[in-house]
A and B are shown apart, each in its own frame.
Chain A
Amino acid sequence: MKKFIHDFEVTRNIHITDDYFALNLKCPVSLPDMLPGQFAEVLVGNSATTYLRRPISIYDTNYDTNELSLLIKKVGDGTIALSKLKEGDILNLVYPLGNTFSMPQGENALLICGGVGIAPMLLLAKLLHSKGYNPDILIGGRTSADIIEPGKYEPYGEVFITTDDGSAGEKGMVTQHSLFTEKIKSYSIIYACGPDPMMKAVARVAASHQIPCEISLENTMACGIGACLCCVVETIDGNKTTCVDGPVFDTRTLKL
């Protein structure tokens, strides 16, 4: 897929919680096609301590208005600087980067998201829905404050929630959710994005039921376009780049 570099205009900066915000960005030309799982390398111009671009998933797209949105969690100087952007500010993106998820080989699919790991899952849920699937979407967090915009997913599947402290949905980790006892056999594929321990736990459960599992990795990157080899992950075929060969990997190919 052809990659682009464009100056986007910030059309909205939406405060979601103290930790999360979303940026709506307008493309100066027609928005190119983007696939679920793909990301942008964002140039953080307003942070003196942020030198490299930051990889951020494409959260949502609107081809009618040529807008895309990013869902971002504040974790350090770069993301905090992005949270301060205002309407009319310019943000330079290199995009769309990386690969995408594969489509289910059977009827049902389970999407599992932890924290900001929900970002790449919205486009996936939309695509699955448009192809006639009705996926289950399981969103996990430590507390209810980590469950971001679950309503956004409701049009595209059935949404389930877990929190470590039980403040929303079922109490416990995602892999302890009742879906794993009641419906697990009905899934032909599981997709997951979230913290590493969560994805590893999901991968183990999927493997034990012989269900294909695809996860989206968040390795640190320098270039995002396969030029530096900084972002590698160990696979059964040697080191692969997370930015070009990923970020989506079939867990059976990874040395987890």
Chain B
Amino acid sequence: MLDLSVNVHKLLLKNPVMSASGTFGYGPEFDDFMDVNRLGGILTKACTSKNRDGNRYPRMAETPSGMLNSVGLQNKGVDYFIDVIYPKISHYNTHIIVNVSDSTVEGYMEVAEKLNPLEKITGIELNISCPNVKEGGMAFGTSCPMAGAVTKAVRGVYNKTMIVKLSPNVTNIAEIAKAVEDEGADSVSVINTLLGMAIDAEKRRPVLSTITGGLSGPAIKPVALRMVWQVSKAVKIPVIGLGGISNATDAIEFLLAGATAIQVGTANFVDPQVCIKILDGIEEYCSRHGITDIKELIGALES
């Protein structure tokens, strides 16, 4: 029997495949295409202390093997999440991890504190890496003192599993990872989107209303893989790898680079069944390589 389960701190995931924040709605969007309960976990769309309209349309530009987005954390706020969305997703038999974002440390704390009592929300992912908001967001994730401070503050009010999602838009991502580990992060997700830009040459205008946006998809995979490898060597806490994962081979590469679990983002748009295909493909890989416990693959890169 193949054991696919992995531990992300206190969370026992039935397998390492999760959906990435902002690319999977809250889960029900994909019910028609798969049994969402088969996933190791669902990362919800960002949740902030107050309602946010996000940025103006256009918020998306296709790029070679990927896309830029500048959605900007559109959501109806934590109270709406608890009252309206949570009852619609609490039946899922998988880990539901809420992606928490805000523009102030107090905002992050408020959201985390309010989510703490929800039984089926088994963890949070602090998004300190959103490139698409004017204040806060990525600013928290690009300096060690800021990243450490927000992690520490939320740790003080949240006692379940706290994952911190790191920004790739830094010179030394391992340093940031260590800073949040030191302040009590239970795990890190690596990576959020890379800051990019698209121009419409005919109109001589930027494509996105915000001019710059976050790059995701297969285009960023080599960068993400490199960062997962660097971070996993630098910290003891489990690393969750993401960035461009589109098939089982990609997922295995991230495990080999040191990730304990992986998330699938933009690929969900191209194939709404891709998460399940990745899961099936991982099983197939394991049986082909005579692996009985997926944990054997974590960080098992040979050199």
A77 to chain B, nearest CB (A): 10
Considering only residues 192-245 of chain A, those with a C-beta below 8 Å from chain B are 219-234, 238-239
Is A180 in contact with chain B by the CB < 8 A criterion?
Answer: no
Q: Which of B28-36, B145-153, B156-164, B283-291 contacts A (4 or more CB under 8 A)?
A: B28-36
Asked if B32 contacts A228 (CB within 8 A), the reply is no
Instruction: Choose one: A5, A49, A227; the contact of B269 (CB below 8 Å).
Output: A227
Residue on A with the closest CB to B73? Answer: A229
Known: A229-B59, A229-B71. A51 touches B23 (CB 8 A): no
Interface pair A228/B22, CB less than 8 Å apart: yes
- Chain A residues near B273 (CB, 8 Å)? 5
Residue of B nearest to A43 (CB): B270
The answer, among A52, A231, A232, for a CB contact under 8 Å with B62, is A52
Chain A residue at minimal CB-CB distance from B207: A220
A227 to B31, CA, bound (A): 12
User: Within 8 Å of chain B (Cβ to Cβ): is A4?
Assistant: yes
Q: Chain A residues with Cβ under 8 A from B25's Cβ? A: 225-227
Q: Are B30 and A230 in contact (CB under 8 A)?
A: no
A228 touches B71 (CB 8 A): yes
Query: A152 on the interface (CB 8 Å rule)?
Result: no
Query: Once the chains are docked, how many angstroms separate the CA of A34 from the CA of B66?
Result: 30
Say whether chain A's binding surface is mostly helix, strand, loop, or mixed: loop
A224 and chain B: residue at smallest CB distance: B269
- When distances are taken between beta carbons in the complex, the residues of chain B under 8 Å from A53 are 269-270
Q: Are A5 and B60 in contact (CB under 8 A)?
A: no
A215 to B22, CA, bound (A): 28
Interface string of A1-39 (1 = CB under 8 A from B): 011110000000000000000000000000000000000
Inter-subunit contact B272/A230 (CB<8 Å): no
User: Hey, which chain A residues are within 8 Å of B62, CB to CB?
Assistant: 50-52
A94 at the interface (CB under 8 A from B): yes
**Pairwise interchain contact A233-B57, C-beta atoms closer than 8 A:** yes
Q: What separation, in Å, do the CA atoms of A5 and B271 have in the docked complex? A: 9
A46 vs chain B, min Cβ distance (A): 14
**Residues from 35 to 81 in B contacting A, C-beta threshold 8 Å:** 45, 53-54, 56-60, 62-67, 69, 71, 74
CB atoms of A239 and B74 under 8 A apart: yes
Residues of A within 8 A of B218 (CB): 51
Is B268 among interface residues, defined by CB-CB distance under 8 A?
A: yes
Interface check B24, CB cutoff 8 A: yes
Does A227 contact B33, Cβ atoms closer than 8 Å?
A: no
Is B217's beta carbon under 8 Å from chain A?
yes
A90 to chain B, nearest CB (A): 14
Residues 138-172 of A at the B interface (beta carbon under 8 Å):
none
Given contacts A51-B270, A220-B60, contact A238 B32 (CB under 8 A): no
* Distance A112 CA – B218 CA, assembled complex (angstroms): 41
- Bound-state Cα–Cα, A228 to B67, Å: 12
Contacting pair B272 A232 (CB below 8 A): no
CA distance A233 to B54 in the complex (A): 11
Across the interface, do B32 and A2 meet the contact criterion of CB distance under 8 Å?
A: yes
B71 touches which of A3, A226, A230, A233 (Cβ 8 Å): A230
A-B contact pairs, 25 of them (CB 8 A): A4-B32, A43-B270, A43-B271, A51-B63, A51-B66, A51-B67, A51-B218, A53-B269, A220-B60, A222-B69, A222-B266, A223-B29, A223-B268, A223-B272, A224-B269, A225-B272, A227-B24, A228-B69, A228-B71, A228-B269, A229-B54, A230-B59, A231-B60, A232-B74, A234-B57
A-B contact sample (11 more), CB < 8 A, given A51-B218, A229-B59: A3-B32, A4-B32, A5-B33, A5-B272, A53-B270, A222-B60, A222-B67, A223-B29, A225-B29, A227-B269, A238-B53
